[in-house]
């Protein structure tokens, strides 16, 4: 039963566009879904290594820029009269590039940042995202700076019998995001249930003990950072091809906060936490629209955040699990 | 003319229908503006302009005999939320026409959605050229591009004495600031003026000492400042502190109104390119319309300074409602077609769209008026 | 050369205000282990209170600065009592998130109350700069620099010489032992947070009249304050002061000579460099807090 339930949930979500084809609902869920993928990736760092990254949006933004640039092509000078030129590439190639580039930066940041822990780590990740935002803002030849990369083509897929199809419709984009979310979920589950995951949990509970029994701390943390960053890059790629504009605001601090609060609300360190929390905090802003003054909507968002953290510090999923009678 | 009268007649006949069940059936007009976040001040001004236009129009009987309802959404000063706000307006509120979205980035983010949902949008503020040249037939812009502003300004060069010989730029680092620097440089270079240095500043920067110190060293006589109203005020004040010693001209239509109550020390003056100068409604192209707008705004007790930007929302609303009237029905495609035929007087001047962009997929662009306001010791005068 | 001197003066003025921003954050982190995300909002709060007292109520400028600082102290105490006190046993991440939520609430409540339009605060100083040879500076800026220095010094003496200061340092070193020795740790935390908040509000009250007051003014300042604190080494007061001046000079000189576009980025790049080469910050850990 408990094995079947998740698949029923996925099936219900997959059937939604057929059963209830309200385009607004699909738009909201697609947009929330992209951030849920971000939250799933963040959970690997925050939930399983205990390291709070408040610069996670850096990987998301890197993915978005990589994917957009691959799709649009670019031509930049790198000094000494040399130029790098890339012709426009299909979207799926950009998607893979986004994962690779974001993952690469995850490795870099992992090497650098895991030398410091706790509050240091938090602040260094914030700074990292800020630096990337400044680069995106000012490397105009590549990123168009504040003028933004526009006219990004929608995602295209090869579908059996139909060839390469551009995904314009709401339902198609919704299914794509759902599919990527399921894959991201399975990847994280695989990692968590593997050797790496057990090492991470050992680290989280007692680092010095883990070290003493020969677990290579930095090594495993860096692996987790790379995988987490790669998935966030994939989410960024989806964002770029869905919203079809990427500007330096993709590195906004509030996006990271959104992902973190999704993870915390649902329950960090649980596989389903980011999904549950993501549905709640992905839908709250859109449910509030039109029901309160714009500033009041933000106040409500902030209050909801405080209440969830104060009164359900471990998150909804663990709280529900503890309600269930034990045999 | 006949057309107009028959529509008016139809409009007069509508109240009779209304009693039979159309009463609550207001025509919805969607608007997305930055109401919270970094650029909320200007977004709220523009939204206020649209609100009073809605009231004025409703008092005059609405359109097609139906009242108007402005559905206002917050785009939270970011492109992703701009898209979300439009999806809400189009898919949930089912508005047939939109007004938005203040910044060029927000407008550019929304544009693919206009194509997808086939809903026209009147763009009231954004200045980037790409908005009307990228082949989006649902875009109708009443705001001037930086280039139009620069060209119009070049026509007024003779009003400056001593004449400009060499110019520098201090621009906010975004589409708006960089676009203005580029277009003003091109337009003024064509008039034989030498173009010097361009310094930029991030939108949220408050300390501009480094930029101003660098600009002070050049041999230019004039600095063009392009940014939002807050940073503009900071730049003017800090220019005094750094003894910049050059003529300052601001572009973009914002006015540092706080410098009226808290003037700069004697001997400092500045020039401001405006699209509406609320101190002198009688000098507007259509004084009666400008006077109504100004009076309604002041009746609300809103900041006087907001008038310099609020007119954008007011004019956009007049434009949209005229298009609905011409279309004869509140349907997106009919309104889009009718927008090409709009020809009305607005606060800024006559509003009518000319074609811009690739053939077959043109966007609409209006040709606006500019005036130059001089500010010295807290007193304003038109140049 | 003239330009260099002017940049030096500008950098000092900027650095002084950064130092003031940094110490409040450092104090709170040092004693309470709380990364205070509301710091920028308290800065904005101080500026708005000054505006309210000066422009709306017609209070004397200097009195308004003091009242705004006290208002910041009161708001800080309220935040500690309502939110942080309940979170004493929570982990650092949860506390951070609560503080981020609080900053969202504060910022948007401010926008609700005051509107988004930026305000100017009138001040009694001359609008024309003092000119010394090639260098010019506003009298108001010198006043701000002077008050910042006095606040830094007074704060230092408080930590070093008063019972409250001793209690704070004791709590920082070992809360449990401090509690056994009769220090009421709860009240030390409240006092610490209130004072740290008061310092942020004082910075806002001082800089509000120099710049302008707007609801989002705290955003960049909050980030800068983190940068300063990291530069100096978390929890070190001399470090925060040094970090403030370092950031001020780096921004001013990089902005003046290298690239104004990247002006704000240099600070963050500097941090990444410092963390990569000297993760403990410019001032090592053993000197932390006082």
- Angstrom CA distances, A264 to A120, A229, A274, C186, stand at 20, 18, 8, 27
Mean pLDDT of A160-169: 76
pLDDT for C287 beyond 50: no
- DSSP string covering A210-234, please? HHHTT--HHHHHHHHHHHHHHHHHH
Winning range, highest mean pLDDT, from B203-217, C66-80, C122-136: C66-80
pLDDT: which is higher, C264 or B108: B108
ipTM of the prediction greater than 0.90, yes or no: no
Q: Which residues of B touch C115 (CB under 8 A)?
A: 41, 44, 303
| CATH code for the domain defined by C2-122+130-287 | 1.10.3470
The tally of domains found in chain A comes to 1
Task: Say how many Å lie between the first and final Cα of chain C, rounded.
Answer: 38
Distance CA C62, CA C68 (A): 10
Q: Tell me, yes or no, if C28 comes closer than 8 A to chain A by beta carbon.
A: no
Q: What is the CATH number of the domain that holds B58?
A: 3.40.50.2300
How far C234 CA sits from the closest chain A CA (Å)?
Answer: 8
Q: How far apart are CA B30 and CA B48, in angstroms?
A: 14
- Let me know if residue A73 belongs to a domain: yes
C143 contacts on B by Cβ (under 8 Å): none
Rounded Cα gap, residues C77 and C84, in angstroms: 10
Eight-state DSSP code of residue B36: S
pLDDT at position A325? 64
Residue A53 clears pLDDT 50, i.e. is over it: yes
Residue after which a domain boundary falls, among B252, B274, B296: B274
Cα of A8 to nearest chain C Cα, Å: 33
Q: Return the percentage of chain A with pLDDT > 70, whole number.
A: 95
Between residues C223 and B280, the one the model is more confident about:
B280
In angstroms, rounded to a whole number, what is the distance separating the alpha carbons of residues A178 and A169?
14
> What confidence category does residue A115 fall into, taking pLDDT thresholds of 50, 70 and 90?
low
CA atoms within 13 A on the CB side of A143: 22
Are B147 and B153 contacting, i.e. CB atoms less than 8 angstroms apart?
A: no
Q: Taking residues C86-93, what's their average pLDDT?
A: 82
- Return the H-helix or E-strand segment holding B199: strand B194-201
User: Is the pLDDT score of A215 beyond 90?
Assistant: no
Condensed to tens digits (0 to 9), the pLDDT of residues A89-102 reads 888 899 999 999 99
Smallest CA–CA distance from B259 into chain C, residue: C120
Residue of B nearest to C257 (CA): B214
User: Is C61 near chain A, with CB under 8 Å?
Assistant: no
CA–CA separation, B222 and B191 (whole Å): 15
pLDDT-based confidence at A113, cuts 50/70/90? low
Q: Determine the Cα–Cα distance for residues C65 and B215; give it in Å rounded to an integer.
A: 33
CB burial of residue A180 (10 Å; 0-12, 13-18, 19+): buried
Q: Does residue B371 lie in a domain region?
A: no
Using CA atoms, how far apart are residues C276 and B193, in angstroms rounded to an integer? 49
What pLDDT does C290 receive?
Answer: 39
Asked if the model's pLDDT at residue A283 lies above 60, the reply is yes
Q: Which domain holds residue B362?
A: 2-144+282-366
- Check pLDDT > 70 for residue A64: yes
Closest listed residue to residue B96, CA positions, set B125, B126, B66: B66
Least reliable range by pLDDT among B38-42, B340-344, C88-92, C165-169: C88-92
Per this entry, what is the length of chain B? 383
Q: Say whether both B195 and B117 belong to one domain.
A: no
Residue B361 CA to residue B341 CA, distance in Å, equals 17
Do the strands B222-226 and B247-250 form a parallel or antiparallel pair, or are they unpaired?
A: parallel
Cross-chain Cβ contact A145/B134 below 8 Å: no
Chain B residues within 8 A of A166 when measuring between CB atoms: none
Give the separation between CA C171 and CA C179, rounded to whole angstroms.
8
How many distinct structural domains can be found in chain B? 2
Closest CA to B369 of B356, B382, B355: B382
pLDDT at C289: 43
Calpha distance B134→B136 (Å, rounded): 6
Judge whether A5 lies within some domain: no
Considering only CB atoms, which chain C residues are within 8 Å of B233?
118, 120, 212
A302 → closest Cβ in C96, C104, C269: C104
Contacts of B217 in chain C (CB under 8 A): 3
The set of residues, in sequence order, having a beta carbon less than 8 Å from that of C100 and lying 6+ positions away, is A257, A305, C37
Tell whether B106 and B131 lie within a shared domain: yes
Q: Which range scores top for mean pLDDT: A47-56, B230-239, C15-24?
A: B230-239
Closest alpha carbon within chain B to C9: B209
A247 interface with B at CB cutoff 8 Å: yes
Helix (H) or strand (E) holding A118: helix A118-138
- Do the Cβ atoms of B88 and A286 come within 8 Å? yes
Whether B245 and B320 share a structural domain: no
Would you place residue C171 in the very low, low, confident or very high pLDDT band (cuts 50, 70, 90)?
confident
Q: Name chain B contacts of A148, Cβ cutoff 8 Å.
A: 79, 105, 108-109, 175
> How many Å apart are CA A17 and CA A3, to the nearest integer?
24
CB neighbour burial string for C122-145, b if at least 16 within 10 angstroms, e if fewer? ebebebbbeeeeebbbbebbbbbb
Check CB contact of C81 with chain A, cutoff 8 Å: no
pLDDT for res C264:
67
B121 shares a domain with B210: no
Record: contact B41-C141, CB cut-off 8 A:
no
Question: C63 vs chain A: nearest CA distance in angstroms?
Answer: 31
Lowest-confidence region among A50-59, B19-28, B209-218, C159-168: B19-28
Q: For residue B180, what pLDDT is reported?
A: 93
Nearest beta carbon to residue A294 from set B35, B80, B116: B35
Q: What is the mean pLDDT of residues C194-211?
A: 92
Q: What is chain B's pLDDT, residue by residue, as a tens digit (383 residues)? A: 344 444 433 433 344 333 333 445 899 999 999 998 888 888 999 999 999 999 999 999 999 999 999 999 999 888 888 999 999 999 999 999 999 899 998 999 999 999 999 999 999 999 888 899 989 999 999 998 999 999 999 988 988 989 999 999 999 988 889 899 999 999 999 999 999 999 988 888 888 888 898 899 899 999 999 998 889 999 999 999 888 999 999 999 889 988 888 889 888 999 999 999 999 999 899 999 999 999 999 999 998 888 999 999 999 999 999 999 999 999 999 999 999 999 999 999 999 999 998 988 889 998 888 889 999 988 999 88
Residue C34: list chain A partners with CB under 8 A: none
A2 has pLDDT over 70: no
| Cβ-based contacts of A109 with chain C (< 8 Å) | none
Half-sphere exposure of residue A248: CA atoms within 13 angstroms, side-chain side: 23
Numbers of helices and strands, H then E, in chain B: 13, 16
CB–CB contact C262 A296 (8 Å): no
CB contact (8 A) between residue C94 and residue A126:
no
**What pLDDT score does B207 carry?**
86
Q: Are residues B360 and B286 in the same domain?
A: yes
Q: Which of B38, B44, B206 sits opposite C211 (nearest CB)?
A: B206
Domains in chain C: boundaries: 2-122+130-287
Higher pLDDT, C243 or B50: B50
A253 falls within a domain: yes
CA angle (B146, B147, B152) in 5-degree steps: 100
SS3 string, B328-366, reads CCCCHHHHHHHHCCCCEECCCCEECEEEECCCCCCEEEE
Task: Please give the Cα distance from C160 to C139 (Å, whole number).
Answer: 32
Q: At what angle do helices B40-59 and B287-299 cross, to 10 degrees?
A: 110
Whether residues B105 and B15 fall in one domain:
yes
Helix (H, G, I), strand (E, B) or coil at B128: coil
CA distance A119 to A126: 11
Whether residue A159 is predicted with pLDDT greater than 80 in this model: the reply is no
Strands B121-123 and B98-100: parallel
Compare all CA atoms of chain A with the CA of B175 and give the residue at the minimum distance. A147
> Min CA distance, C236 vs chain B (Å)?
26
Query: Does some domain include residue B111?
Result: yes
Same domain? B41 vs B116: yes
Tally Cβ neighbours within 10 Å of residue B151. Answer: 17
- The answer to whether C260 contacts B229, with C-beta atoms less than 8 Å apart, is no
Residues of B in contact with A286 (CB under 8 A): 84, 88
Has residue A90 been placed in a domain? yes
Q: Which helix (H) or strand (E) holds B52?
A: helix B40-59
Q: Given a cut of 80, is residue A295 above it in pLDDT?
A: yes
Mean pLDDT across the stretch C215-220? 86
């Amino acid at each position: 039963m408990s094995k079947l339930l998740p698949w029923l949930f996925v099936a219900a979500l997959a059937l939604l566009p057929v059963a209830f084809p309200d385009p607004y609902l699909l738009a909201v869920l697609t947009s929330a879904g992209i951030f849920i993928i971000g939250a799933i990736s963040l959970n690997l760092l925050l939930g399983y290594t205990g390291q709070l990254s408040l610069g996670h949006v850096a990987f998301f933004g890197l993915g978005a820029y990589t994917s957009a640039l691959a799709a649009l092509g670019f031509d930049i000078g790198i000094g000494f009269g040399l130029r790098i030129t890339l012709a426009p590439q299909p979207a799926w190639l950009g998607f893979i590039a986004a994962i690779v580039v974001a993952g690469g930066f995850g490795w870099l940041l992992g090497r650098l940042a895991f030398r410091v822990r706790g509050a240091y780590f938090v602040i260094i990740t914030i700074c990292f995202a800020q630096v990337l935002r400044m680069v995106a803002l000012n490397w105009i030849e590549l990123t168009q700076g504040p003028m933004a990369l526009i006219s990004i083509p929608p995602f295209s897929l090869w579908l059996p019998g139909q060839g390469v199809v551009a995904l314009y419709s709401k339902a198609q984009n919704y299914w794509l995001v759902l599919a990527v979310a399921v894959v991201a979920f399975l990847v994280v589950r695989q990692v968590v249930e593997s050797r790496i995951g057990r090492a991470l949990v050992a680290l989280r509970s007692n680092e010095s003990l883990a070290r003493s029994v020969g677990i290579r701390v930095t090594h495993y943390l860096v692996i987790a950072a790379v995988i987490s960053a790669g998935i966030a890059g994939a989410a960024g790629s989806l964002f770029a091809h869905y919203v079809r504009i990427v500007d330096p605001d993709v590195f906004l601090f509030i996006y990271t906060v959104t992902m973190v609060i999704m993870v915390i609300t649902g329950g960090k360190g649980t596989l389903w936490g980011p999904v549950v929390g993501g549905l709640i905090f992905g839908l709250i802003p859109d449910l509030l629209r039109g029901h309160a003054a714009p500033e009041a909507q933000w106040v409500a968002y902030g209050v909801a955040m405080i209440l969830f953290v104060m009164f359900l510090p471990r998150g909804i999923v663990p709280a529900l699990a503890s309600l269930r009678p034990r045999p | 003319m006949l057309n107009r009268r028959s529509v008016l007649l139809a409009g007069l006949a509508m109240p009779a229908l209304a009693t039979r069940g159309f009463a609550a059936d207001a025509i919805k007009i969607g608007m997305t503006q930055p109401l919270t976040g970094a650029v909320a001040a200007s977004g709220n001004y523009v939204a206020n302009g649209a609100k009073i236009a809605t009231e004025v129009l409703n008092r005059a009987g609405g359109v097609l005999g139906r009242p108007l309802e402005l559905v206002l959404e917050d785009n939270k000063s970011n492109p992703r939320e701009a898209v979300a706000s439009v999806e809400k307006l189009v898919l949930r509120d089912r508005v047939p026409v939109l007004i938005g979205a203040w910044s060029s980035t927000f407008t550019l983010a929304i544009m693919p959605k206009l194509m997808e949902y086939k809903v026209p949008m009147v763009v009231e503020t954004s200045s980037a050229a790409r908005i009307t040249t990228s082949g989006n037939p649902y875009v109708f812009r009443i705001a001037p591009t930086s280039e139009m502003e620069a060209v119009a300004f070049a026509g007024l060069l003779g009003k400056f004495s001593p004449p400009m010989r060499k110019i520098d730029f201090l621009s906010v680092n975004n589409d708006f600031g960089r676009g203005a620097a580029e277009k003003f440089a091109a337009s003024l270079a064509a008039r034989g003026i030498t173009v010097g240095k361009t310094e930029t500043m991030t939108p949220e920067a408050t300390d501009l000492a480094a930029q101003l110190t660098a600009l002070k060293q050049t041999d230019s006589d004039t600095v063009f400042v392009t940014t939002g109203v807050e940073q503009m005020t900071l730049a003017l004040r800090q220019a005094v502190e750094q003894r910049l010693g050059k003529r300052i001209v601001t572009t973009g239509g914002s006015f540092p109104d706080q410098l009226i109550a808290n003037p700069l020390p004697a001997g400092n003056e500045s020039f401001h390119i405006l699209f509406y100068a609320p101190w002198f409604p009688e000098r507007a192209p259509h004084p009666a319309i400008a006077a109504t707008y100004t009076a309604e705004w002041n009746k609300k007790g809103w900041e006087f300074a907001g008038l310099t930007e609020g007119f954008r929302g007011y004019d956009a609303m007049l434009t949209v409602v005229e298009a609905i009237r011409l279309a004869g029905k509140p349907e997106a495609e009919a309104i889009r077609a009718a927008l090409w035929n709009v020809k009305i007087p607005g606060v800024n001047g006559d509003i009518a769209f000319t074609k811009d962009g690739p053939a077959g997929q043109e966007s609409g662009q209006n040709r606006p008026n500019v005036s130059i306001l001089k500010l010295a010791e807290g007193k304003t005068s038109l140049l | 050369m003239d330009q260099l001197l002017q940049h030096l003066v500008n950098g000092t003025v900027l650095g002084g205000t950064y130092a003031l921003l940094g110490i409040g954050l450092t104090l709170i982190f040092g004693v309470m282990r709380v990364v205070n995300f509301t710091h920028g909002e308290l800065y904005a709060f101080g500026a708005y209170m000054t505006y309210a007292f000066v422009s709306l109520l017609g209070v004397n400028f200097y009195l308004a600065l003091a009242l705004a600082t006290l208002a910041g102290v009161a708001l800080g105490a309220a935040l500690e009592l309502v939110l942080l006190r309940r979170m004493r046993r929570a982990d650092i991440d949860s506390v951070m998130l609560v503080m981020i939520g609080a900053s969202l609430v504060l910022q948007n409540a401010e926008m609700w109350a005051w509107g988004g339009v930026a305000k100017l605060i009138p001040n009694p100083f001359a609008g024309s700069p003092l000119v010394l040879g090639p260098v010019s500076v506003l009298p108001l800026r010198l006043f701000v620099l002077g008050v910042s220095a006095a606040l830094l010094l007074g704060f230092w003496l408080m930590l070093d010489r008063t019972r409250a200061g001793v209690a704070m340092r004791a709590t920082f070193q070992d809360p449990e032992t401090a509690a056994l020795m009769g220090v009421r740790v709860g009240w030390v935390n409240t006092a610490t947070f209130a004072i740290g908040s008061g310092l942020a509000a004082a910075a806002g009250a001082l800089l509000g009249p120099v710049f302008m007051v707007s609801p989002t003014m705290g955003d960049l300042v909050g980030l800068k304050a983190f940068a300063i604190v990291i530069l100096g080494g978390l929890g070190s007061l001399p470090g925060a002061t040094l970090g403030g001046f370092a950031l001020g000079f780096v921004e001013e000189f990089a902005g003046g000579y290298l690239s104004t576009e990247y002006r704000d980025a240099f600070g963050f790049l500097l941090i990444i460099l410092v963390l990569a080469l000297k993760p403990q910050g410019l001032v090592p850990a053993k000197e932390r807090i006082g």
